[in-house]
């Protein structure tokens, strides 16, 4: 129902298990902000202290997002790669209601139990965990740097905003903290998706834009529908216009995902993709195509996206949002409550069919599904929206190929709330393991991150020595 959000992030598989850690558990209150219910439960966190100077070394703390935490541990190579030189302890904390951090076991996502799934509660879990890692001391010993990408990047920023006494600085990568109602135009996301395809080639955009009506017209005949079912290797036949709509939605989501993970290296995601996937798929759409030829071109794109390895049995267009390993079913609930992020397409600034944002409909759907009323202004009031002048020590990094950059902070707000733009990077490339294919811009961004982390650690030590 609500638009697929950071979901691709989650589909980043646990590539190879190349980073090693201990798995631990930490007890947190179900509800940090009231005493109406006094249950506790355990969240999971992963720790590596191999490089840690446990006298004074920093704690690198990943504020886990919507998914099982191993995925983020294995894909946030940046933290692992810089830990030795900082003599840092590495901690990845799992977000409540995801992975194995379930307050009510396998009933956690049921409507009567899901209500404590909020960013504020997750941040308070992390705050308690950080305090515990410091030894519950009034005066903490170790500087703490928060890291996060995407929603995890929002949480990294938010934990520094809300708990600056516990977290000394934050690297918030690809964090769309402006993506709330009234803050950026709802069409910004798909406008950037379209730009990313335009960079590959202009004709690609034109073809995709034309493909929607072509496909709808094409699919009207039963023969053609059967042809699509067979030649596009769909898991389900196209029986009616509702099936066609689902296929259209799946295709749009495909282009959005390709733009988001348009990395310079082959990536072994749940849906494995070639390096620079947007450029690769646009090869099939690089001259003006019409009718059957256009349909065939889109079919080739689909094949790359859905079956790059050749091992996928069929394209499950009816269930595009729920990848097997996804484990992010809580996100839809968060989008329906506090993480309300309006999305729309205009058909003019982007290559999609026009589809306005309809909050009333959205709220009704949320109410029907979860019996909640969204609080569209909640996150802005709680975390500050665009007004971060009083915060400090946060880097907001954004790859300009990443559609989520549309909701990101692209200009420095002060000397201590700074923006890092990475011109040829997609979604939080700067946090990923380094690769020989990395563009210079992302190497530079990582150096800037390191300089900031050094500065924040120095600042912590100076303040501490004054006391």
Return the residue of 131, 203, 249, 266 that touches its own copies, per CB under 8 A. 131
CA dist 184 and 311 (Å) reads 40
Least distance in Å: CB of 24 to its own copies? 19
411 contacts its own copies (rule: CB under 8 A): no
Within residues 165-224, the interface with its own copies by CB under 8 A covers 165-166, 182-183
User: CA 44, 139, 29: angle at the middle one, nearest 5?
Assistant: 35
| String of DSSP letters for 387-410 | --TT--SEEEEEETT-GGGGGS--
136 in contact with its own copies (CB under 8 A): yes
Q: Does 242 bind its own copies (CB under 8 A)?
A: no
Least gap, CB of 121 to its own copies (angstroms)? 6
- DSSP letters for 115-129: GG--HHHHHHHHHHH
415 binds its own copies (CB under 8 A): no
Size of the site for its own copies (CB under 8 A): 53
Q: Considering only residues 1, 390, 423, 440, which one is a binding residue for its own copies as defined by CB under 8 A?
A: 390
**List 115, 272, 347, 439, residue binding its own copies (CB under 8 A):** 115
DSSP-based three-state secondary structure for 205: helix
User: Among the options 150, 257, 392, 397, which is catalytic?
Assistant: 150
- 115, exposed or middle or buried, with CB in 10 Å at 0-12, 13-18, 19+? middle
Residue 62 to residues 22, 90, 138, 226, Cα–Cα distance (Å): 15, 8, 23, 48
Phi and psi at residue 98, in whole multiples of 5°? -130, 160
Which stretch in 66-74, 86-94, 217-225, 368-376 sits in contact with its own copies by CB under 8 A? 368-376
Active site residue 402: yes
CA distance 186 to 197: 19
Instruction: Tell me whether residue 253 is one of the annotated catalytic residues.
Output: no
Rounded to a whole number of angstroms, the minimum distance from the CB of residue 272 to its own copies is 37
Q: Is 463 in the site for its own copies (CB under 8 A)?
A: yes
Span 35-64, contacts to its own copies by CB under 8 A: 35-38
Judged by CB under 8 A, the stretch of 30-38, 83-91, 268-276, 400-408 that binds its own copies is 30-38
Residue 116 sits in the site that holds its own copies (CB under 8 A): yes
Burial profile 268-306: b = 16 or more Cβ within 10 angstroms, e = fewer:
ebebebeebbbbbbbebbeeebeeeebbebbbebbbbbb
The sign of the torsion formed by the CA atoms of 328, 329, 332, 335 equals negative
Nearest one of 313, 234, 251 to 285, comparing CA atoms: 251
| 419 binding its own copies? (CB under 8 A) | no
- 435 catalytic residue (yes or no): no
What is the three-class DSSP state of 360?
A: helix
Contact between 392 and its own copies by CB under 8 A: the answer reads: yes
- Contacts (CB under 8 A) with its own copies, residues 253-282: none
Tokens of 319: 């269930």
The mark string for 298-337 relative to its own copies (x by CB under 8 A, - otherwise) is ---------------------------------------x
Tokens for 331, please give them. Answer: 């996100």
Provide the annotated active-site residues.
Answer: 150, 402, 427
Binding residues for its own copies, per CB under 8 A?
29, 31-38, 114-118, 120-121, 124, 127-128, 131, 136, 138-140, 162-166, 182-183, 337, 370-373, 375, 377-378, 380-382, 384-393, 463
């Amino acid at each position: 129902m609500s638009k697929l959000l950071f979901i691709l992030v989650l589909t980043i598989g646990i590539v190879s298990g190349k980073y090693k850690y201990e798995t631990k558990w930490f007890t947190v209150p179900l509800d940090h902000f009231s005493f109406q219910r006094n249950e506790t439960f355990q969240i999971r966190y992963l720790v590596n202290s191999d490089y840690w100077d446990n006298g004074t070394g920093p704690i690198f703390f990943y504020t886990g997002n919507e998914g099982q935490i191993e995925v983020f541990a294995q894909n946030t190579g940046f933290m692992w790669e810089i830990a030795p030189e900082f003599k840092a302890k590495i901690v990845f904390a799992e977000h409540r209601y995801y992975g194995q951090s379930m307050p009510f076991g396998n009933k956690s996502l049921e409507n009567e139990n899901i209500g404590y799934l909020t960013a504020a509660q997750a941040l308070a879990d992390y705050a308690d965990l950080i305090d515990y890692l410091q030894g519950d001391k009034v005066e903490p010993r170790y500087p703490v740097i928060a890291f996060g990408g995407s929603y995890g990047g929002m949480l990294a920023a938010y934990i520094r905003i809300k708990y600056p006494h516990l977290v000394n600085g934050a690297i918030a990568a690809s964090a769309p903290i402006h993506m709330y109602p009234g803050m950026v135009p709802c069409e910004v996301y798909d406008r950037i998706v379209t730009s990313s395809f335009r960079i590959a080639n202009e004709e690609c955009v034109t073809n995709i834009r034309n493909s929607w009506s072509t496909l709808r017209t094409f699919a009207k005949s039963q023969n053609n529908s059967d042809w699509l079912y067979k030649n596009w290797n769909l898991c389900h036949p196209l029986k009616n216009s509702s099936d066609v709509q689902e296929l259209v939605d799946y295709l749009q989501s495909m282009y959005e995902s390709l733009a988001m993970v348009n990395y310079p290296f082959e990536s072994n995601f749940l849906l494995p993709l070639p390096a620079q996937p947007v450029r690769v798929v646009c090869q099939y759409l690089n001259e003006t195509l019409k009718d059957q030829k256009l349909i065939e071109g889109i079919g080739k794109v689909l094949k790359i996206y859905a079956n790059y390895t050749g091992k996928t049995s069929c394209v499950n267009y009816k269930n595009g949002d729920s990848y097997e390993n996804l484990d992010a079913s809580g996100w839809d609930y968060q989008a329906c409550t506090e993480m309300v992020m309006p999305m729309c397409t205009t058909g003019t600034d982007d290559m999609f069919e026009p589809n306005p944002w309809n909050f009333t409909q959205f709220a009704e759907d949320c109410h029907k599904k979860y019996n909640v009323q969204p609080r569209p202004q909640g996150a802005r009031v709680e975390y500050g929206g665009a007004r971060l002048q009083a915060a400090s020590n946060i880097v907001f990094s954004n790859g300009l190929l990443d559609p989520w950059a549309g909701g990101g902070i692209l200009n420095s707000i002060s000397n201590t709330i700074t923006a890092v733009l990475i011109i040829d990077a997609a979604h939080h490339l700067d946090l990923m393991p380094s690769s020989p294919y990395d563009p210079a811009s992302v190497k530079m961004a990582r150096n800037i991150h390191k300089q900031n982390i050094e500065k924040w650690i120095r600042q912590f030590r100076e303040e501490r020595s004054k006391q």
